[in-house]
Structure 1
Amino acid sequence: MARWLKREAMPSAQEDYGRSNEVHMSLVQMRTAMNALPMGVVIASSDGSNTWVNRAVYEIFSAGSVDQALFTERIQQLLRDAIHGHTIKTMIEFGDPALRTLEVETISLVDGGAAAIVEDITSRLMIDRVRTDFVANISHELRTPIGAISLVAENLIATTEGTESARFAQIILDEVTRLNNTVSDLLELARIEFDGLQERERVEIPTVIEAALGRLRSVALTRSVMLVVEGNPDVVVAGDRAQLLSALVNLIDNAIKFSPQGSIVKINSSVEGGQLFLSVADNGPGIPLEHQGRVFERFYRVDDARSRETGGTGLGLAIVRHIALLHTGDVTVKSTEGTGSIFTLVLPTV
């Protein structure tokens, strides 16, 4: 009886052929799909002795070129590292100055092999650089007339105090101030995008919090908002101190602007799982759920009228998000309408 069951469990030659054919068709389909991808794919066997590349890889460099040889050497090293569990996402530049930039991400495969996803981002970087340069140049050109208009408006207010002309001059000054803030934020965003994270240093978070409070205490006092610090452990992160300070200042400034008089803005810091959670909580009007996914976009405003009233530029949260990503971190928002919002900057600790 046992032998009969065993014989029945053994596949027939026809079944073997069917399964083999299915495997063959699956491999053909996978190869076809891989070759249709716009980015390059390189797959290495578990011992690194065999590699397979899709069509896009051959289109990156001319066959036999020096750059192709350099790329092959570099990608083989990255795949060897990935086979041993050391995956990475990095950029490889070719030429002097860099004429070609590739973004490479390696992953470890379940069978012990490894794969690399290769994308030529040269054109994208060039477009980003042109856009960043354009914004920076225009912003610099606007600085001179803004300064001149502000000076004229201030003089007009001083010499026509109590008249209708003074009231109009004040409106001009308020709008020019708002425009100047927008230009300043554009310049900062352009600088962050262009320079990126040039170097990392040890940054003590308590000193960043204290510096941010020093900048904004007078603003909070003017709006009758109390700033309260909670937690504040002695934690250190690696990054650009000026950028991290800018991110926190933007979050606190936003909270002050949208908080009612007599309310409290809480700044809390805690560490969990090797990450710093630096949050800023307010008792403002809150953000509707349908808007929360877009608040970090440039110039996006939940309430245009409220933003104009508070002097918001629509760039502060975009700056915060960009700084967070540069530091391999993130920024999140939790908000309830009528209750308030909590923005949290998440950063890896040292």
Structure 2
Amino acid sequence: MNHPSNHPALPPVPTIVKEHHEKKKNQFFTHFDRVSLSSKLVACTICVLLIGITVISISIRTLVSNYMLEKTDNQLIQQSELVINNIEYLVKQQEQNAGNASSSPNSYFVQLQYTDGTKDSQGNPLTANLLMPQLNDGIVSVPVLPSNGDTKGITLGQPFTTQAHARQIVRISGDTGSGNDNDKDSDANSGSDLPDSGSGVTITLASPSPNADHDTIVAANSPWRIIAAYYTLKSGEVKGIVYVGLSLYDQIDTINTLTRYCIIVGVAVVLLAGSLATLIIQHTMSPLKRMEKTAAKIAAGDLSQRIPSAPENTEVGSLAASLNTMLARIETSFHEQQDTTDKMKQFVSDASHELRTPLAAIHGYAELYKMQRDMPGALERADESIAHIERSSQRMTVLVEDLLSLARLDEGRGIDVTGTVNLTSLLTDAVDDLHALDPDRAIKRTNIALVPSQDLNHPAMLTLADGDWPAITLPGDASRLRQVVTNIVGNIHRYTPADSPAEAALGILPAAIEPRELGRLSATDASLRRFIEAAEVGASMQTGYRYAVLQFVDHGPGVPDENRSRIFERFYTADPSRARQTGGTGLGLAIVQSVVKAHHGFICATASNGGGLTFTVVLPVDQIAAPAAPAQTDTKTGKIKTSWFSSNKQQ
């Protein structure tokens, strides 16, 4: 009883063969992918050149060969008629030469095969070589032709190609002629060897002498182009068949010479083109090599590296420009992320410190209460401890609320910019509040005007001019903007002498800068200078977005230049001890900057003339439109359609 085998069935043979071919194919592409791009391009260029030169050479060879063969056929057809018309003359010439073919200089081979029963001396049908071109050393070329008048496989009047044999005609003196009988040619095509009328005989050897010239032997063995025709008497009787031929040696030699020339030229062209292709490809690929080196440096951590520029109308130049733009953004993002991380670490440290202070106070006063509750006068001391605990908890509450407010602003929440704000009213209330806090402070209300630049040494600038404030209404969150002006006024109250003067200015300026771009500016003097230059362009061209500009000018101690841009940082304080003798959490100006940026505005602090600090706030007056669509091209003019803030001109 046969049991089924436990061995797994082998896959069919076609599947194995297919998998083998797939494996070979994958190996080929794997090796091909490892070759460098430059080598691939050079190899492909050389292969295309080789294929092209080979095809062209074969085409030229075929075209010339066909042309020369056709020319030979036409020549044979024309000469065959002349030979047939003069066949009797050629026969007489042969008889006069004692049966030998005429040795006169010519290129034609003529053979007459009698079919009327004429016999030679041996009783065979007579074959007469009427014309036979003779080469050097008596070498002759005898084409291989049918014998005894057989025309099987031959079309009369149509040229055909046949092979040839080299023979050698020698003249032997009469006393030694009998010793060379074994060397006589017995081929019917060669004709009969007749005794010479002189003192010797002429015989045809079946093979040339070994000392014969090689080139002559090659020429004699070259094929012939033959045409056959009937030899007919005037009476109409067919007497025989005439074969007229021309050797193809010259044609073959010409074709071989042309082939050698094509090979030499082709090799030279391939070498020259390959060298040029290598140089051009290496020159073209050199920017990619530089990109590779730059990428390696960037991968090593040097983000300041840039790819060398190239003409942007080229693929490499366009790629380099795009990569440089990407690298610049990556570097900027990396530094921003690094700065954000550093600020976050500092923020966490500062927040922990700020929260630890009131918590430590609460804990300390609670412990103090426990220690003194059983002592005399414990009730009065308990009230004092509870009061300290309450103040610390209030400070911690304010701090937590400010932190929560900043977190919401960072997330884009906690603010509604779809409302309408009367900015003039907000500023009036803020000035009134400052006057109430500091009754002895002189507060001046002025307008903001733009003074155009006069020369390089006197650029455009903002100036304060006497006049009433314009009525300004803009989109935004009223409570948040009130928080902005209140915090700025609160800083003036806390950090400047109560009797020092202050100015509050308000105005509207057109500026050729988009609100979203304005909102990305940093709180520096350079950013303010950029806005002033944009305002100068907007004023001169009467175009641009309208912006409300607020300035709060104090004449207190001010802030050092190196620290002025840092006052908007969270928990920043000029007092290293963090004592905060003037109060506050250190988050007020950070909240102010976040609120202004949420309104696509700009804020910075600069030094006041004569000392002090000036806060400049810029807010867009008009509603912020959605992000602009990509520029479109006018199909008629071919120019890019643009809109230069035409809808935001100052009314």
TM-score scaled by structure 1? 0.52
Residues 17-36 of structure 1: CA distance to partner in whole angstroms, max 9, x if unpaired? Answer: 9xx97748953143155357
CA distance in 1, matches of 2:578, 2:314: 57
Residues 252-295 of structure 1: CA distance to partner in whole angstroms, max 9, x if unpaired? Answer: 11111111132233222122222211111112211101011211
Query: Which residue number in structure 2 is paired with residue 210 of structure 1?
Result: 428
Report the Cα offset of residue 296 of structure 1: 1.2
Q: Secondary structure at the match of 1:346?
A: strand
CA distance in 2, matches of 1:193, 1:24: 39
Q: 2:418 pairs with 189, 197, 200, which one?
A: 200
Q: 1:278 pairs with 538, 543, 550, which one?
A: 550
Q: Which moved more, 1:28-37 or 1:323-332?
A: 28-37
Q: 2:404 pairs with 177, 187, 197, which one?
A: 187
Query: Which residue number in structure 2 is paired with residue 248 of structure 1?
Result: 485
CA distance in 1, matches of 2:613, 2:388: 31
* Matched-pair contact (CA < 8 Å) for 2:503–2:554: yes
Report the Cα offset of residue 330 of structure 1: 0.2
Q: CA 1:304/1:310 → structure 2, altered by over 3 Å: closer, same or farther? A: farther
Matches within 5 A, 1:146-185: 175-185=392-402
Q: Secondary structure at the match of 1:245?
A: helix
Report the Cα offset of residue 317 of structure 1: 1.2
AA matched with 1:254:
N
Q: Which moved more, 1:325-334 or 1:196-205?
A: 196-205
Flag structure 2 segments of 5+ consecutive residues without an equivalent.
1-279, 285-309, 370-376, 448-468, 511-545, 623-651
Report the Cα offset of residue 234 of structure 1: 0.7
AA matched with 2:484:
A
Q: CA 1:173/1:220 → structure 2, altered by over 3 Å: closer, same or farther? A: farther
Residues 132-161 of structure 1: CA distance to partner in whole angstroms, max 9, x if unpaired? Answer: xxx9xx99xx9xx98xx6xx99xx9xxx8x
Query: Which residue number in structure 2 is paired with residue 34 of structure 1?
Result: 322
RMSD (Å), alpha carbons = 4.6
CA distance in 2, matches of 1:307, 1:348: 38
Query: Which residue number in structure 2 is paired with residue 261 of structure 1?
Result: 498
Residues 166-205 of structure 1: CA distance to partner in whole angstroms, max 9, x if unpaired? Answer: 8777665555444333223222222333316544223211
AA matched with 2:587:
L
Does 1:230 pair with 2:518? no
Report the Cα offset of residue 308 of structure 1: 0.3
Q: CA 1:310/1:180 → structure 2, altered by over 3 Å: closer, same or farther? A: farther
Query: Which residue number in structure 1 is paired with residue 63 of structure 2?
Result: none
Q: 1:292 pairs with 564, 585, 594, which one?
A: 564
* Matched-pair contact (CA < 8 Å) for 2:480–2:595: yes
Q: Secondary structure at the match of 1:309?
A: coil
Query: Which residue number in structure 2 is paired with residue 346 of structure 1?
Result: 618
Residues 57-102 of structure 1: CA distance to partner in whole angstroms, max 9, x if unpaired? Answer: xxxxxxxxxxxxxxxxxxxxxxxxxxxxxxxxxxxxxxxxxxxxxx
AA matched with 1:244:
L
Query: Which residue number in structure 1 is paired with residue 27 of structure 2?
Result: none
Q: CA 1:249/1:29 → structure 2, altered by over 3 Å: closer, same or farther? A: same
Query: Which residue number in structure 1 is paired with residue 144 of structure 2?
Result: none
Matches within 5 A, 1:80-99: none
AA matched with 2:322:
M
Query: Which residue number in structure 1 is paired with residue 601 of structure 2?
Result: 329
CA distance in 2, matches of 1:227, 1:320: 22
CA distance in 2, matches of 1:196, 1:29: 46
Flag structure 1 segments of 5+ consecutive residues without an equivalent.
1-16, 42-55, 57-118
TM-score scaled by structure 2? 0.30
Q: Secondary structure at the match of 1:251?
A: helix
Q: CA 1:206/1:318 → structure 2, altered by over 3 Å: closer, same or farther? A: same
CA distance in 1, matches of 2:446, 2:608: 21
Query: Which residue number in structure 1 is paired with residue 584 of structure 2?
Result: 312
Q: Which moved more, 1:280-289 or 1:178-187?
A: 178-187
CA distance in 1, matches of 2:419, 2:506: 20
* Matched-pair contact (CA < 8 Å) for 2:417–2:599: no
CA distance in 2, matches of 1:264, 1:29: 59
CA distance in 1, matches of 2:435, 2:608: 26
AA matched with 2:418:
R
If you compute each CA radius of gyration, which structure gives the higher value, 1 or 2? 2
AA matched with 2:475:
A
Query: Which residue number in structure 2 is paired with residue 11 of structure 1?
Result: none
CA distance in 1, matches of 2:471, 2:490: 23
What is the number of residues matched between the two proteins?
A: 229
Q: 2:574 pairs with 259, 283, 302, which one?
A: 302
Report the Cα offset of residue 208 of structure 1: 1.2
Report the Cα offset of residue 338 of structure 1: 8.1
* Matched-pair contact (CA < 8 Å) for 2:444–2:504: yes
CA distance in 2, matches of 1:24, 1:272: 39
Residues 291-312 of structure 1: CA distance to partner in whole angstroms, max 9, x if unpaired? Answer: 1121111111223458701113
Instruction: Write 1 or 2 for the structure with the bigger share of strand.
Output: 1
* Matched-pair contact (CA < 8 Å) for 1:307–1:313: no
